[in-house]
Amino acid sequence: MAKKIFSHSRISAFEKCRLKYKFRYIDEIIPEVERTIESHLGSSVHKALEWLYSQIKQKKIPSVEEVIMVYSENWNEEYDDEITIVKKNFTKEDYFNKGVGFLINYYTENHPFNDNTIEVEKEILINLDETGEYKLRGFIDRLAYNSQTGEYEIHDYKTSGTFPTDEEIENDRQLALYAIAIKEIYGKEKGVRLIWHYLSFRKKIHSERTNEQLEKLRENTLKIAKDINSTTSFPPTKSSLCHWCEYKKICPAWGNNFEKQTKLGGFVKLDKKENGDKLDIFK
């Protein structure tokens, strides 16, 4: 029986725009440059925090200057001039400095980092159905165990400039799915707390899910995964999100097409056999 492995981003792409889903996961078209400045900032900050906690796990607390140095190195190594800046009133330097501010604030507010981090960038795999035919893979930014409350904590860093509503937090699927995985590992009776760090706002949001809510979520996610497998219809969904969509240049909803764009360069079709893993590069 062939296993079907999904990711949260794959499921979200299908829900937001089926055409975008088709470009990436069925036609296997990967833009050579597909990053926006926001995603570059997010990735550089995540890597700096990953490094910080990997040091803490080895009982070393780096200085804030060292954290900024790692951030700066990541930023420069992965920056290229084709990264898209959609908001024209901001420069590359503005975004870089934003990241510096996020890290300084985070460091100051969380020092000396004694919340018992167990793992960083922890990979998890959840069975969505009983037979294990449908699975979901993801990565937890940071997993901690709070020995005072006896709860596991799933930490997630957000660098976006949008603050979620209470409803969005209550319905957030990604961390709740990861909570299913943690309960599968450590026991269903264990408490799991979901914690988002909204770095732009210097705010931490906490939430929890009951076992019943998690079971319902697993069922709903399985249903979407089965829809993905069986659908043959992939219409575009035009929205403000299109401005950040890496496929806009080949999207017929915007009067473009793949053939015209490939002549100009910038898009590649993956070799399925060699590059299948790259299709799920987004968490």
With H, G, I as helix, E, B as strand and everything else as coil, classify residue 45.
helix
What mask of x and - would describe binding to ligand SF4 in positions 179 to 218, judged by CB under 6 A? ----------------------------------------
45 is a contact residue toward ligand SF4 (CB under 6 A): no
Q: What's the N-to-C CA distance of the chain in angstroms?
A: 25
Radius of gyration of the chain (CA): 20
| Integer Cα distance of 24 and 41 in angstroms | 23
- Total of residues contacting ligand SF4 (CB under 6 A): 14
Judged by CB under 6 A, the residue of 237, 270, 271, 278 near ligand SF4 is 237
Distance (Å) of CA 174 to CA 46, 179, 197: 17, 9, 14
29 is a contact residue toward ligand SF4 (CB under 6 A): no
Nearer to ligand SF4, 201 or 244 (CB): 244
Distance (Å) of CA 45 to CA 32, 98, 107, 116: 22, 10, 12, 21
Q: Whose CA is closest to 37, among 106, 98, 101?
A: 98
> Least CB distance from residue 255 to ligand SF4, whole Å?
11
Cβ count within 10 A of residue 63: 9
For the chain, give percent helix, strand, coil, nearest 5. Answer: 50, 20, 30
Judged by CB under 6 A, the residue of 238, 260, 269, 278 near ligand SF4 is 238
Contact region for ligand SF4 (CB under 6 A) — 1-9, 33-41, 143-151, 243-251?
243-251
| Integer Cα distance of 193 and 2 in angstroms | 33
Judged by CB under 6 A, the residue of 31, 42, 138, 236 near ligand SF4 is 236
> Least CB distance from residue 178 to ligand SF4, whole Å?
26
What mask of x and - would describe binding to ligand SF4 in positions 244 to 263, judged by CB under 6 A? -x-xx--x-xx---------
10 is a contact residue toward ligand SF4 (CB under 6 A): no
> Least CB distance from residue 231 to ligand SF4, whole Å?
15
Nearer to ligand SF4, 31 or 42 (CB): 31
Judged by CB under 6 A, the residue of 7, 8, 14, 20 near ligand SF4 is 20
With H, G, I as helix, E, B as strand and everything else as coil, classify residue 217.
helix
Cβ count within 10 A of residue 210: 8
26 is a contact residue toward ligand SF4 (CB under 6 A): no
Residues that bind ligand SF4 (CB under 6 A): 17, 19-20, 236-238, 241-242, 245, 247-248, 251, 253-254
